[in-house]
Structure 1
Amino acid sequence: MTLYVYVDNSNIWIEGQRIQAVRQGLVPDIRTALRDRIVAPWTYDFGRLYELACPAGEQIGRSILYGSRPPANDSIWQRARDAEFQVEVFDRSIHTNKEKQVDIALSTTMMEDSFKHMRADNGDIAVLVAGDGDFLPTMRSLQSRSIGVRVVSWSHAVSRELRNTADEFIDLDPHFDYLTRPRQASPQ
């Protein structure tokens, strides 16, 4: 069995910021954070996310981190490269400042890899670290060819249908503290 890993960085990071907003008391609950688009500063430890998505001992085929172009001082992309992830970065829309192309690129690559590299007879699994219901057609296509799909996401940010359709679901909520990267002390 080989795992093929596809991570939507923005999905994990932004939804983690919503949880942080609740924890800091900026909003009473996650629904309010979602509705009012309230977030609080939060960063995650990429290596720990990877450990949860792909426990030790599992063979890894290809791993790709997708997201929007980060600020120059963002270290997560280099950390992903150091972990031998392929990194795919896209510019945000100049008109709306919204992320563009990430979900489609991720889905397209999953499909391409499923035909080029994944083998049902080997028990290969696609690991989707995201929760958007737009990934359902891709997931169903893989499953129709007996390729398993593991979804890793926050409970509030995963489509119910995506969660129920996945062969395996890993809920990140109980691991929030483990995933949280400690803030660096400011140099004096």
Structure 2
Amino acid sequence: MRVSLFVDGANYYYMQRDKLKWTIDAQKLLEWAKSKGELVDAFYYIGRSSPSDVREQKYLDMLAYSGYSIVTKDIKEIVQEDGSITRKANLDIEIVLDMFNTIENYDMAILVSGDGDFERALQLLRARGKKFIVLSTAGFIASELRMVAGMHFIDVNTLRDQLERVTT
């Protein structure tokens, strides 16, 4: 079984910060994906705040040296009507494009995201005969994504002993 891993970086971050309250080790996530078959690709999608952000660059370097292909987009600041600023770098379309541009390379896609925008992409993967797993957590995964994933949803909390980053 050839496997490709697609990590929605923003969703991955907020899932850990807001719901899990523990940190996923990105290298352990790769190892877990390898346990599902031959890992042929691992993509990590993330908005860049600034190319001069040293901490962010160290994190991206660690991901790249671990085996992830990094896909970035600059974060845009959007001024709301009330004057507040929202920061966004939506990479959903890049994730879906890569899922379909590399579709001949894998038999199973692992999507790390709870974003309901991926509902249709997963329906189309299934129609093309591809298997998939959605990794997210209860209370964070959109209902439409949970509905399409069915038995192919794995709650990251059930993998804590395999994925948690241990700090010493």
- Alignment deviations for residues 66-89 of structure 1 (CA, whole Å, 9 cap, x no partner): 011154213332222112211011
Q: Distance in 2 between matches of 1:168 and 1:46?
A: 21
Q: Distance in 1 between matches of 2:110 and 2:135?
A: 7
Contact 2:19 2:139 survives alignment (8 Å): no
Query: Deviation at 1:99?
Result: 2.4
Counterpart in 2 of 1:67? Answer: 46
Q: Distance in 1 between matches of 2:77 and 2:36?
A: 43
Greater RCO (CA < 8 Å, at least 6 residues apart): 2
Counterpart in 1 of 2:29? Answer: 49
Query: Deviation at 1:160?
Result: 2.6
User: Are residues 1:100 and 2:79 paired?
Assistant: no
Contact 1:92 1:99 survives alignment (8 Å): yes
TM-score (ref. length: structure 1): 0.72
- Alignment deviations for residues 139-180 of structure 1 (CA, whole Å, 9 cap, x no partner): 111111111111111222112332232262221123446544
Q: Distance in 1 between matches of 2:36 and 2:110?
A: 15
Query: Deviation at 1:183?
Result: 5.2
Q: Which runs of 5+ in 2 are unaligned?
A: 79-84
User: Are residues 1:138 and 2:117 paired?
Assistant: no
Contact 1:13 1:44 survives alignment (8 Å): no
Contact 1:46 1:76 survives alignment (8 Å): no
Counterpart in 1 of 2:154? Answer: 170
SS at match of 1:64: strand
Identity of aligned residues (%): 24
Q: Distance in 2 between matches of 1:110 and 1:104?
A: 10
Q: How does 1:12-161 map to 2 (within 5 A)?
A: 12-19=12-19, 43-52=23-32, 54-56=33-35, 58-69=37-48, 71-74=53-56, 75-95=58-78, 96-114=85-103, 116-118=104-106, 124-161=107-144
**Bigger Rg, which one:** 1
TM-score (ref. length: structure 2): 0.80
SS at match of 1:164: helix
> Aligned residue pairs: how many?
157
Letter in 1 for 2:55: N
Q: Aligned pair in 2 of structure 1 residues 111, 57: CA closer, same or farther (>3 Å)? A: closer
